């Protein structure tokens, strides 16, 4: 890993394509956090200047050639002011993700460490507004109601038919 550990976020330098190898390296300050076994790369982009492609996100999340993570979370301003902040959340393959409870808890702690908020913070996700509360080291998130929840669905795998877990 090219990340450098120091006081504050780590720094990662990467070149995505051969054409970029002759260019100056890109420097990306980041924080890496773990929530119940899922790990995330978190980036403070409150200035809303960062524009990464899905391939670049996948490169950063790659476990052997990048920082390595299950997801990439970018802190951005909330455009419509329905919450304190917003996130751009991507899976490790670079695809956009709606929601992850473990990621939401890490994201809330990240916001708290950056802004100093003490009791509560809200942020917009693709799934809706998430509210996080802090009690000491504990972070609790109130998630949105699931959409298109379908229970008792029969599935077939390898020629065998079974029912999903309720």
Q: Tens-digit pLDDT profile for the chain (166 aa)?
A: 334 334 555 655 555 555 545 556 668 899 999 999 999 999 999 999 998 999 999 999 999 988 999 999 999 999 999 999 999 999 999 999 989 999 999 999 999 999 999 999 999 999 999 999 999 889 999 988 888 877 877 777 777 776 555 5
Return the bridge partners of 115, or none: none
User: Where are the extended beta strands (E) located within the chain?
Assistant: 10-14, 26-35, 38-44, 71-77, 85-91, 120-125, 128-135, 138-142, 154-157, 160-163
pLDDT of res. 8 = 57
* Beta strands 120-125 and 85-91, pairing class: parallel
Q: Which domains are present in the chain?
A: 32-163 (3.10.310.10)
| 3 state SS of 86 | strand
pTM: predicted TM-score of the whole model, two decimal places: 0.77
């Amino acid at each position: 890993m090219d990340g450098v550990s120091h006081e504050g976020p780590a720094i990662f330098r990467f070149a995505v394509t051969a054409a970029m190898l002759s260019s100056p390296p890109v420097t990306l300050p980041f924080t890496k956090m773990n929530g119940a076994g899922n790990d995330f790369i978190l980036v403070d982009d409150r200035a809303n200047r960062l524009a990464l492609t899905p391939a670049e996100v996948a490169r950063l999340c790659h476990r052997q050639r990048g920082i390595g993570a299950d997801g990439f979370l970018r802190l951005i301003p909330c455009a419509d002011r329905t919450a304190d902040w917003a996130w751009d959340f991507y899976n490790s393959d670079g695809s956009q993700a709606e929601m992850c409870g473990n990621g939401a808890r890490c994201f809330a702690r990240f916001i708290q460490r950056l802004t100093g908020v003490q009791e509560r913070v809200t942020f917009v996700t693709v799934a809706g507004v998430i509210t996080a509360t802090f009690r000491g080291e504990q972070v609790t998130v109130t998630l949105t109601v699931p959409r298109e929840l379908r229970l008792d669905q029969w599935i077939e795998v390898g020629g065998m038919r079974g029912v999903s877990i309720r």
